[in-house]
Amino acid sequence: MTEILDYIWLGVLAVFQGPQLFSLLGFAIPAAPVMVLAGLLVGIAVGATPGLAGPMAMAIALPILISIFGFTPDALLPVFGFLIGIMKGATVGGAVPAILFNMPGTPDALMTTLDGYPMAQRGQPKRALRIAQLSSVTGDTFSDIVLFVCAPFLAVMVEAYLDLPEKTALLILSISFIAAVMGGSVGKGLLSVGLGLIAAFVGTGQALVPRLTGGVEGLSNGFSLVGAILGVLILGEIFKSIEDMMQRDRAQPATQRRDTSAVQDGLQPGDMRRIAPHVARSAVIGTIIGALPGVGSTLAATLSYTVGRKRHEKRRKDSDPGFGEGAPEGIASTEASNSAVSGANLIPVLSLGIPGNAAAVFLILAADSIGGFNPGPAVFKFTAPAINPELVTAFGIFTLMVIGNLLNWTIGGRFMRSMGVLARVPGQILLPAVLLLTLTAIYVQETSLFALWVTFGFGILGYLFRRSEVPVLPFVIAFILARPLEQTAREAFAATGGDPWFLFSSPTSVIFTVAAIASVAFLSRK
Amino acid sequence: MENLFKPLAMAAAMTIAPTLSLADDWAPPGPITMMIGFSAGGGADTQARLIAQGLEEKYGWKVLPQQLTGNSGLSLAAELAKAPADGSVIGMVVSETLTYSALAVGDPGLQLENFTSLATTAKFELGLVAMAGGAFDSWDKVATAGTEGTPIRFGIASDRQGDVAYLFGQAVGIDWNIVPVKGGAGVMNGLRGGDLDLGWVAGAQSKPVQQGEMVNIASGIQTALTDSPDAPLITDLGSPFVIDGYFMFIAPGDLAPQARTAIGAAISDVINDPATEANALITKSFGGPDVITGDALDTRMQQLLDDAAHLLEQANAS
């Protein structure tokens, strides 16, 4: 027990005694907490801008951060701090344009428009924003606590009970599950996963000659991770948005504000009591859904909203607004739940090394680029007296998340309410700026023009995916998991003495394998 | 060992002293790109980066470390072969890359003669490693279990280690389940996680062995291991081969002799200077510096190449 406390303390120290950013009046200002704040503000701004999302900002920021902080393990916490800040800020910021202009800033804020916008129309935009912020931060904090408790526990369990064949089966299960639950159809999910695996197998492998390169020398080390992921996720999105803009005039009807000066704005007495049960329920729903890799925050928000509406209808007095008419309970249900997803989403990443959403993808990418931290079960080894530096980093990350939540509670709300103006940035300015930033960021990290061509190639692929409604994220997650999957499968095969049926060598691996098949088989029948 | 090592390091430093004047005559044409053939964050990677840092501090050379991993160092070799031979690009690999791996692949462009060997930094302290207190923490236990037919999972980090393990197994009558993993760190992770029973580790096991977490049950090189002087040699146990080798720096072929001498001397100077972090790391985790440069290095590499050819011949024959 004292070991765990020691490690928590070391993690806190790592954050506050890490590399200093600058010194103020003789006090060294540690980089990591400052980066959390900077990330949080950027995240809120990005979330408040329709058309931009947290992962996009994380993608652009990552190469720039790495070029600032370098590749030493000292860089890990400041870089993670910024990324975590963006992640937390964007979930809060997404509510701003949803409430003020009926435009969701991030996809998971869609349900927030249903009650937030009517409330703002009634002359209470500040009240709506305040409720959104409180619910969002509470949901986030709750799921972070679950993460802190569950991730180490789950990791230790995995390491203690899973052998190589079971680990292989678990990876197969995760990939199949992600293919099955993301996007419109299982078939398209599987297609996306399959292409991701093929792309990742180029130039890798254990033979001394690189495979599948078609003789192209630039590919002998495979597609660069940054180029492929940013290409599919960001360039693809930009290409699609440009096409959308060309096809339709995006003139928005001017929103009319009714004269509402008589209505009192701001948090009303009794609001907290009204939303508390909805926040609590939604936080739990969001956390459970978030812990499953690949199931997005949109589902969590929809589910919580639906459950919340049923409960609300039973108890509501006639004078209270119903869901969809500007009910504070509606905002609370959505925001608490979609924010709770973000913390819980890190459970599979930190404990198993399996990313469940785009934000987690970029945390893995950061760890991979900097080195010295390999998310997965090996992190949570409580060694003594020797210190396990990866475990210290893990507790450092937890500390950063706590700092992020505290900042979100306090200054996040104020900053958020000043961000309404960003919803008015036109796409003609936004998209080229994002494109330029992305390409610059990739060039900064890879310093080769070939990497830019790779990025463009994957951008076109991402565009085609979006045109044919094939989900993009399974591609990216499969691309990341392909190497661990191949490696563990090879190891399992060799360790069982070349048994081709190693996936069926123990009850646990049989269960995982059957579950993988079942997830694809049953979820395709909707 | 410590007492023996210091005069040796001094002696090495003294033999380098005259060549330092030569180093003064040569300066890199610009920043030096240092390609690193090891995955980021591992022991060998840290070693390379600390040497880069030492070169900057002691010589004022700008050194840009760059990861170039894959295919047992051959990806790096292929890239290095295309770089200008003016001292502006160097790479850190293991001697195995240009001997065993290059021979096994057979690509004429990647053979030893197409590269300039600059300097070794440390020799492999390669041990056959297992968890302390486990079912395989001595050779007797391994031999008993092996002859009884208990499956033993044997972690290897390169094809050469696999070949030696296989031939060793044949010689002692044990059919290992040979598991290829990523680097010495991969072997140690496998041991800790209970996914492997034994494995070769080329130096990174030093810390866990000193702390009593793991044991070297045998030495995989010609001599006893610094950390475990009592562990038997695998050649005494019946293995026909050893897994000796070095961490080393290489440059493109036909590097000007002046540049070769200067860079080799500079690396040697950094590693042997007890004030540098590179020296501290190599002393702590790699059994101490073992620097060979110039003609002596060419001779040693030729020996290793001949050994590798012999090993490949034996492995392919069986």
Q: Give contacts of B 68-127 with A, CB under 8 A.
A: 68-72, 74-75, 78, 101, 104-105, 107
Q: Which two tokens stand for residue A197?
A: 């695996």
User: What's the CA angle centered on A5, arms A2 and A7, to 5 degrees?
Assistant: 110
Quick one: B191 and B232 in the same domain? yes
Q: Give contacts of B 132-171 with A, CB under 8 A.
A: 151, 153, 159
Cα–Cα distance, A474 to A470 (Å, whole number): 9
- Gyration radius of chain B's alpha carbons: 19
C-beta of residue A420 within 8 angstroms of C-beta of residue A105: no
Beta strands B198-201; B127-131: pairing state = antiparallel
Q: Which residues of B touch A160 (CB under 8 A)?
A: 194
Q: Which of B209, B237, B265 is the last residue of a domain?
A: B237
The residue of B64, B98, B195 whose CB has the most chain A CBs within 10 angstroms, and thus the best one to mutate to test that interface, is: B195
Quick one: B17 and B115 in the same domain? yes
Quick one: B209 and B193 in the same domain? yes
- Whether residue B90 has pLDDT greater than 70: yes
pLDDT at residue number A284:
93
Type of residue at B44:
A
Q: Which residues of B touch A204 (CB under 8 A)?
A: 70
Cα–Cα distance, B45 to B114 (Å, whole number): 24
Q: Which two tokens stand for residue A338?
A: 């979609």
Quick one: B19 and B168 in the same domain? no
Give the domain ranges of chain A.
2-20+30-249+266-523
- Whether residue B82 has pLDDT greater than 80: yes
pLDDT tens, residue by residue, A445-495: 777 888 899 999 999 999 999 999 999 989 988 998 898 899 899 999 999
Residue B76: pLDDT band by 50, 70, 90 thresholds? very high
Quick one: B69 and B180 in the same domain? no
Q: Which two tokens stand for residue A427?
A: 């796409």
Of B40, B181, B194, the CB nearest to A491: B181
pLDDT at residue number B20:
47
Quick one: B50 and B180 in the same domain? no
Type of residue at A10:
L
Q: Which residues of B touch A72 (CB under 8 A)?
A: 49
Q: Is the dihedral of CA B109, B114, B120, B121 positive or negative?
A: negative
Specify which residues B214 forms β-bridges with: B131
Q: Which residues of A touch B38 (CB under 8 A)?
A: none
Q: Which two tokens stand for residue B46?
A: 């840290």
Residue B244: pLDDT band by 50, 70, 90 thresholds? very high
Task: For residues B37-44, give the mean pLDDT.
Answer: 77
pLDDT at residue number A220:
78
Of B41, B180, B181, the CB nearest to A73: B41
Q: Give contacts of B 168-227 with A, CB under 8 A.
A: 177-182, 189-190, 192-196, 207-208, 211, 213
Cα–Cα distance, A239 to A462 (Å, whole number): 9
Interchain proximity B41–A210, CB inside 8 Å: no
pTM attached to this predicted model: 0.81
Quick one: B178 and B289 in the same domain? no
Domain span at residue B274 reads 2-123+245-317
Walk along chain A (526 residues) and give the pLDDT tens digit of each residue.
Answer: 678 888 888 888 888 887 777 777 777 788 999 999 999 999 999 888 877 778 888 888 888 888 788 777 788 999 999 999 999 998 888 888 888 888 777 767 788 888 999 998 888 888 899 999 999 999 999 999 999 988 888 888 887 788 899 989 999 998 898 888 877 789 999 999 999 999 999 987 777 677 888 888 778 778 888 889 889 988 998 898 888 888 865 444 444 444 555 567 778 778 888 899 999 999 999 998 888 876 667 778 888 998 898 888 888 777 788 888 889 999 999 999 988 988 888 888 888 888 877 888 888 888 877 777 888 877 888 876 678 888 999 999 999 999 999 999 888 888 888 887 777 778 788 888 888 888 888 887 777 888 899 999 999 999 999 999 999 989 988 998 898 899 899 999 999 999 999 999 899 999 999 999 998 888 876 5
Quick one: B143 and B228 in the same domain? yes
CATH code at B289?
3.40.190.150
The residue of A74, A208, A391, A392 whose CB has the most chain B CBs within 10 angstroms, and thus the best one to mutate to test that interface, is: A208
Cα–Cα distance, B269 to B40 (Å, whole number): 24
CATH code at B225?
3.40.190.10
pLDDT at residue number B196:
93
pLDDT at residue number A230:
86
With CA atoms as reference, the chain B residue closest to A222 would be B70
Q: What is the DSSP string of chain B?
A: -HHHHHHHHHHHHHHHHHHHHHHHH---SSPEEEEE-S-TTSHHHHHHHHHHHHHHHHH---EEEEE---GGGHHHHHHHHTS-SSSSEEEEEEHHIIIIIHHHH--GGGSGGGEEEEEEEEE---EEEEETTSTTSSHHHHHHHHHHT---EEEESSHHHHHHHHHHHHHHT---EEEE-SHHHHHHHHHHTTS-SEEEESSTTHHHHHTTSEEEEEE-SSS--SS-TTSPBHHHHT-S-----EEEEEEETT--HHHHHHHHHHHHHHHH-TTSHHHHHHHHHSSS----BHHHHHHHHHHHHHHHHHHHHHHHH-
| Among A466, A415, A422, CA closest to A50 | A422
C-beta of residue A405 within 8 angstroms of C-beta of residue A140: yes
Of B41, B190, B192, the CB nearest to A381: B192
With CA atoms as reference, the chain A residue closest to B208 would be A386
Interchain proximity A495–B196, CB inside 8 Å: yes
C-beta of residue B10 within 8 angstroms of C-beta of residue B269: no
Interchain proximity B190–A383, CB inside 8 Å: no
Quick one: B227 and B143 in the same domain? yes
| Among B291, B314, B308, B259, CA closest to B98 | B308
Q: Is pLDDT larger for residue B186 or for residue B120?
A: B120
Q: Which residue has the tokens 């890798």?
A: A204
Interchain proximity B78–A495, CB inside 8 Å: no
Calculate the average pLDDT of chain B.
Answer: 89
pLDDT at residue number B67:
83
Domain count across chain B: 2
With CA atoms as reference, the chain A residue closest to B196 would be A495
Name, in order, each residue with C-beta under 8 angstroms of A301's C-beta and a sequence gap of 6 or more.
A108, A110, A111, A112, A286, A334, A337, A338
Q: Which of B218, B237, B256 is the last residue of a domain?
A: B237
Quick one: B17 and B96 in the same domain? yes
Cα–Cα distance, A300 to A368 (Å, whole number): 29
With CA atoms as reference, the chain A residue closest to B37 would be A221
CA distance A208 to chain B (A): 5
Q: Which residue has the tokens 């090993």?
A: B311
Quick one: B28 and B42 in the same domain? yes
Of A221, A370, A494, the CB nearest to B75: A221
Quick one: B257 and B308 in the same domain? yes
Cα–Cα distance, B17 to B265 (Å, whole number): 9
pLDDT tens, residue by residue, B166-192: 999 999 999 999 999 888 888 988 898
- Whether residue B19 has pLDDT greater than 50: no
Interchain proximity A494–B178, CB inside 8 Å: yes
